[in-house]
Structure 1
């Protein structure tokens, strides 16, 4: 990607190029504990010659916002100010309503813990479109997109080397272990720069998060809002945070048994048994400071940003464990926004089963079960009953090995039988998700080629990646943009 001029227009979805390639617009938006930003890019939908599958490629950054402070009003996000920021970014990028094809927005860290974070997600969705991902606090998704936006190219270039990305921002450290470019494990610690808010000049404490208060109590620091925080005390808090990061990377679960340490665990990060020591990469605001220090550049004065970010970066740089094996990714600082832009959206295969395209888009559908031909009838019955009780509709993930007509016919018949046994067929949609190229055939066998009055959609060649919810966009060149969230560790 090149660095475009500020305010360069991204444009709407363009007409197909002479070779049949269509340009689309993608977006990544991140409202974090301290800062907010947006990235807009254009990409090509290209049909692969060998497989006929439509893929996203030729990504070209068209707009990158200036970093802005996440606007707060007391203990809430300032919704009007946040919406104005987003409106300005979209206007500067030249993005027209309804022109976005994929990507998404995420509210992270301390911003996601404010009481009106869901209301901010609704404001974002109203501007980006119902089909695009817009979620408040999904720690495992954030870990995944940060890895994909920062470390994935390095991981693919070193396929046999385990790599952990630590995305350290104002409120959280999102950890993701990857191998050969694929995320294997995720976790999240409430370790970040903004848990202690300071006046940059007087160093008086302006606010403490509950986690910071727990750390202060653990360290015997009798300080609160209005009190000055000495440099030695700030360094003690940063050192405590570093011990938590080191313990997570060393697989020392016992280190989180103490109440103060346990308070900092949002999603446990568990390395596989016998895993080799991973190479580390860093992203996020503190990650930028770490790489500046590794490059020999001077860091700002402590409390320069009104938090402990500089102290935390210096403590990490002083840790032999955290600096023994460090690699430098090409993209730093905006890993979440880049990851959302490039990786939050998957494309379906071209053999969709989609009798009612007017139903689209579909938003926030739960993935109720993971089924296969080996699943017992009782498993299918439970999934069918859950679908019947889900008023918005629902998804089932289908794992297929045998794509022969007899195998698909048998599974389709079993699914249809379970749906009939569950009671009257509801009007809401059922979506089947499969990684294999079998959408039309499976949909036909489940519905008996129209005999079963089921609002069914089968999306093939997509990976749910352990997610719990899915969003499905409008049909474009016979493929669907699909986004997953609510990922498990």
Structure 2
């Protein structure tokens, strides 16, 4: 058995948090079968306090203060950056759209161990929040479909799990900090900030919500009722809102569930206001979070569904980032010595038809796709993602390897490696076939990893005596 230390750092619209976890791995195969390395245990060792994300302006994160927060929590936990072998620094919600979002991730690179992922955008967050909340495990334990709605300050990340499989995901600009308020000057608060999404919801509600104007609590509730209807429509338990398409977060998947979600789990900061409708002042945070939570809790469509309560709400994303971002490759892989780790590798995903054309010798097709892909990404490097073939013989794999090496060797920069990721369990044999082509580049072939177009991939140093590598499939979407 092996153990690694994982860190999760979540910089959200409203809050910033840090979590440290221990991950255990072991060979779960029998004595007379091929090794099968799996993650066998996860333990949260330390949770930081919840900080408000420090901002310089509405469009700039305070990088120095974020660094100070993370540094202080490393010290409080008793760890150093060199202690961490895996994990994620994830920037989410409206924070991912701040002008210096990419610079913030770069500024935190000193705190990242050798294989700590930097990621931005809604896709990965939807999944890890759903895992961190407990919705994913519930879908496995009960063999059912669960929709997890992670409602933060700026966005709502939605993911559908069916018995542990991700059915679909999407992200909407619905959150508790989309209208910020000054409640110190009278019964009706003054609006100090209103986002585009909130302004659109206000129009649909027939409410005036301009920065600097006063707004009543009843009008704020009308805006939040529009948001609640939009979320209900997005998970198929109510008609689709006229606003939904306009609130779709840039970079989000477009997903319509085939049938309504009958089990719903909430996470994120607003979830606490859904599960615990409080008699306290509903403007206590200077935003619409508590009012939005109450609007969702009292929405008829949501009331008619079975709501499950996960183990984490406001910490779901950071717990997921610290314990669920890293997956393991298959145990029969091939790689050149010293090729790993690699980070932020853009993935070119071939269609099934393209894969078959290349198999039958159309190397030019792959060359054209690779050249186009490198130009589009303005990057000298990439990895090739394939579905793979069902039970291919070695002669077939040699044809595929010949086409791959001829195309990539002619397009990649001089020192860039050839890395192939396949879904099916054929990586070892394909890797040997790649090596036998005589190409002098460093090469790697790993399997049991599913990649989609537009993904970025991080691959860490081999673990468990070189049998597997840690892999993270992610997005990098800013602005």
Q: Normalized against structure 1, the TM-score is what?
A: 0.86
- Partner of residue 73 from structure 1, selected from 41, 48, 56: 56
Match of 2:16 in 1: 36
Give SS of 1:178's match. strand
CA-to-partner distance for each residue in 1:412-446, whole Å, 9 max, x for gaps? 233234346x4687321221112333333212212
SS of 1:462's partner is coil
The aligned counterpart of 1:88 is: 72
Match of 2:147 among 154, 159, 164: 164
SS at match of 2:213: coil
Residue 356 of structure 1: which of 337, 347, 359 is its match? Answer: 337
CA deviations over 1:233-270 (Å, ceiling 9, x no partner): 111111111121122123878633x6xx5432213653
Asked whether 1:396 is paired with 2:384, we answer yes
Query: Structure 1 residue 226: deviation in Å?
Result: 3.3
Change (3 A) 1:65 1:423: closer
How many residue pairs get aligned? The number is: 455
Q: Which residue pairs with 1:270 in the alignment?
A: 255
Is the counterpart of residue 382 in structure 1 residue 368 in structure 2?
yes
1:323 aligns with 2:271: no
Task: Say if 1:201 and 1:367 are closer, same or farther in 2 by CA, change over 3 A.
Answer: same
CA distance, structure 2, for counterparts of residue 487 and residue 157 of structure 1: 32
Would you say 1:147 and 2:135 are equivalent positions? no
- TM superposition score normalised by structure 2: 0.88
For the pair 1:110 / 2:94, whether they are aligned, the reply is yes
SS in 1 for 2:400: helix
Change (3 A) 1:175 1:487: farther
| Aligned position for 1:416 | 405
Structure 1 residue runs without a partner (length 5+): 1-20
Determine helix, strand or coil for the equivalent of 2:69: helix
**3-state SS, counterpart of residue 154 of structure 1:** helix
452 and 278 in structure 1: CA distance in 2 versus 1, 3 angstrom threshold: same
User: Per-residue deviation at 1:387?
Assistant: 6.8
The answer to whether residue 458 in structure 2 is matched with residue 471 in structure 1 is yes
Q: Using a 3 Å threshold, how does the CA distance of structure 1 residues 383 and 290 change in structure 2: closer, same or farther?
A: same
CA RMSD of aligned residues (A): 2.5
The C-alpha deviation readout for 1:89-140, integer Å capped at 9, x for no partner, is 112222222222222021111212211111111122331136321123x112
Inter-CA distance 446–83: structure 2 relative to 1 (3 Å threshold)? same
Cα distance per residue 1:64-103 (max 9 Å; x no partner):
0011111011121000000001111112222222222222
Preserved contact between residue 174 and residue 187 of structure 1 (Cα < 8 Å): yes
Give ranges in structure 2 of 5+ residues lacking alignment: none
CA contact (8 A) 1:30 1:337 kept: yes
Q: Which moved more, 1:190-199 or 1:222-231?
A: 222-231
Q: Which residue of 2 aligns with 1:334?
A: 315
- Kept in 1: contact 2:275–2:297 (CA 8 A): no
Q: What secondary structure sits across from 2:463 in the alignment?
A: coil
